[in-house]
Amino acid sequence: MPQLRQDPATREWIIIAAERAKRPHEFRKAAEQKTAAPPPFSPDCPFCPGNETKTPPEIYSLRESTPGKGSAWKVRVVPNKFAALVPEGSLDRRVEAGFFRVMDGFGHHEVVIETPHHDKSLALLSQEEVLDVILTFRLRYHALRKMPGVEAIIIFENHGLSAGTSLEHPHSQIAAIPVIPNRMRTRFESALRYYDDLHHCVYCDMLAKEVQIGERIVEAGDDFVVINPYASIQPFETWIVPTRYRSSFGNISDEDCVQLAAVLRRTLRRLYFGLNNPDYNLIINNAPVADENKKYYLWHIQIIPRLTMRAGFEIGSGIYITTVFPEETAKYLRDYKDEETPEAGNIVAEPRCL
């Protein structure tokens, strides 16, 4: 029998379709489906070292400080060459034909080149290298939040062709936008309503419950908990949620960055090796810039592997169909280990925000 589950945070219903249900290992990419490993360097790639002039002028770079290594960059930030939004024009909202609301596509759309190595996606970087990427995210967040007109900052990564990436070289994107999207507003309002009712943060309550139940936990540390959420919209949807209450990623501390680098890397390795390098979208679900310090919201990372296809049912109804129980996928990810990914161990975390 299928099940309808409601996301406690957004009140979004999803279907777990038992008739179509698969076992977690069936989502593992078969050897013959595996894409060929990319080369460590690609002469035509605009993100590879030596090709820096092929990108728009650099906004920021993190560079080697080791003497003798010269000015080799470790992480590079450049404007998106095919920017969806540009820092030009007016921030005024106009009315067209007395009816339609419109404004210039004012905003910032940046690319974070995560590594000079063409073949090393986040899962394959060292912990220090992942930390460099996270510190770059935070630095650009802080720079962009001060820019005129920026209402929200979306940090995301598309990994693999079916996740919508056009360039193989590992990179993320940062979009600073002058409007609040409905999806963000709905998620935020829903959390506010919960707080109005119960005077708790719904994410903190959810974390506490998940830690208590345990079966959807991938790993739980003192600083971050990794779960496959109760109402997962896709198989293996994975959240990384901080246990310290903060509504915005922009408020993350240095120490949190170090812990996040370790947790994010382990989580991506579980997916990479456990499912044979699936394509995925990774999104930092943040508060609007004006709401960075609200008590009722908790920023979190959402990773959505692209293992199934979104079709008319989802588009038409707004209800996602998941074909495997998150309890099973969480166990699958929890059980995965390699030398660098120790087991989750005992679940000891207590959300500290309560």
Interactions with its own copies, residue window 208-227 (CB under 8 A)? 209, 212-213
Q: How many residues bind its own copies (CB under 8 A)?
A: 77
Among 126, 313, 352, 354, binds its own copies (CB under 8 A): 313
Closest separation between CB of residue 71 and its own copies, Å?
30
Cβ atoms 313, 15 nearer than 8 A: no
Closest separation between CB of residue 313 and its own copies, Å?
6
Q: Which positions from 184 through 203 interact with its own copies, judged by CB under 8 A?
A: 184, 186
Closest separation between CB of residue 162 and its own copies, Å?
8
Q: Measured in whole angstroms, how far is the alpha carbon of residue 228 from the centre of its chain?
A: 14
According to the binding rule CB under 8 A, does residue 35 interact with its own copies?
no
In the bound state with its own copies, the residue whose beta carbon lies nearer, of 2 and 39, is 2
List the Cα angle 78/79/82 in 5-degree steps. Answer: 130
According to the binding rule CB under 8 A, does residue 179 interact with its own copies?
yes
Separation CA 212–CA 218 (nearest Å): 13
Token pair belonging to 336:
């995965």
Among 170, 178, 242, 278, binds its own copies (CB under 8 A): 178
264: amino acid identity, one letter:
L
Residue 243 neighbours by CB under 8 Å, 6+ apart: 207, 221, 222, 223, 224, 225, 349, 350, 351, 352, 353
In the bound state with its own copies, the residue whose beta carbon lies nearer, of 201 and 341, is 201
Token pair belonging to 123:
């899962």
Closest separation between CB of residue 185 and its own copies, Å?
9
For the chain, the C-alpha Rg in angstroms (whole number) is 20
Among 111, 177, 220, 263, binds its own copies (CB under 8 A): 177
In the bound state with its own copies, the residue whose beta carbon lies nearer, of 162 and 253, is 162
Q: Which positions from 254 through 293 interact with its own copies, judged by CB under 8 A?
A: 281-285
Beta-bridge mates of residue 175: 109, 154
List the Cα angle 159/163/56 in 5-degree steps. Answer: 65
Q: Which positions from 317 through 336 interact with its own copies, judged by CB under 8 A?
A: 317-319, 321
- Applying CB under 8 A, the span of 91-99, 137-145, 191-199, 256-264 interacting with its own copies comes to 91-99
According to the binding rule CB under 8 A, does residue 17 interact with its own copies?
yes
Closest separation between CB of residue 137 and its own copies, Å?
13
Separation CA 16–CA 308 (nearest Å): 13
Among 59, 62, 104, 337, binds its own copies (CB under 8 A): 104
3-state SS, residue 53: helix
DSSP assignments along 297-330, one per residue: ---EEEEEE--S---HHHHHH--EEESS-HHHHH
Q: Measured in whole angstroms, how far is the alpha carbon of residue 114 from the centre of its chain?
A: 14
Among 43, 71, 316, 346, binds its own copies (CB under 8 A): 316
